[in-house]
Structure 1
Amino acid sequence: MRRITAMTTVGLATLALAACNDQAKMDTGAPVAGGASATAQLATATGAPAGRATATEVAGGLRFTVDASGMPSGTHGAHVHMVGRCDPPGFESAGGHWNPTQMKHGTMNPQGPHQGDLPNLVIGNDGRGTIGATIPGATMAGLLDADGAAMVIHAGQDDLKTDPSGNSGARIACGVFQAG
């Protein structure tokens, strides 16, 4: 009986340590009670609705989610841009990628990524697609600074390495982040 008790105690201690290690790994990206959020309503150059992007404060950064609709099927670059303006038809008013840390473009670039670099958005034949990514170190104050920020969807796939924009082509949808 003693042997079973000792083994049980060791087993429980091991599980407790593993739980502590898992908690430490989960800290970045964990929900923050009362965390701030911002939303961008996406639209095409003609003003047609194209979905919504959301930024939510999480532990250690911001969580970006894009729920796109009414978009052409295929793979598209998706980026947070540094100016909260979406003047059609080309949305150049949104400026370059949000890059407060002065890095190069892309998660595959050894000198990157920008904080505005998100994974590619895959749009199905139904015109819909969703992505989500947590950007460590990003802040809501930085996102919603004096000139704001915009979410931009590009015509082509982001190669995740070529500076400054991953060769992702024209800007086909845009939305300005508004505090929520």
Structure 2
Amino acid sequence: MRAEIQVKLLENLLDEITKRYDSFIKEQNEKIEDTLEKATKDPLTDLYNREFFSEYVEKILKENRRKGESITLIFLDLDNFKSVNDNYGHEEGDQVLKDVATILKNSFRDHDVIIRYGGDEFIVLAQLNRVEISDLNSVLMSLKERIEENFKKYGISISYGMAIYPLETDNLKDLIQLADQRMYEQKKDIKEL
């Protein structure tokens, strides 16, 4: 009888240790996920951040180079956003950025990567075939209309520029510069109208 009691006590002890160990592991995994989330996501918009972008894109470009596929980088910038912060305050400006992030998430596919590049600048990475690239302009025009309609009160619009890897350039720096340059050309053309 005494041996049965000892076995039962050991089983209970082992069960308790296992529960504590499982709880500890779960807690550690949650901390790791939280740290990873903070390291890769913009806390305001919950979009990927610039640091994530740099690491991720290098991997994607290498993979696409190996597969012979293209990737489109879209550089987006809010027009007249500064006036929101100046006239309505930073809290309202933050809300506008959150709302823009939601519109961007709803405008692109789940597997497209959306990044808050800085301030009121965003980048979208999309793997597109030739047919989809030609459709992209209509998606972007629709996005522009949604932004203008949703933020009519502030007079906000959005300008964008695109560059295609490896068709137009074979490195990240030039890809960003080309898309950024095209975005500024669009912005300049609109101001001249």
Q: Larger radius of gyration, structure 1 or 2?
A: 2
Class of the TM-score when normalised by the shorter of the 2 chains: 0.3 to 0.5
TM-score by length of 2: 0.33
Question: 1 or 2, which has the higher strand percentage?
Answer: 1
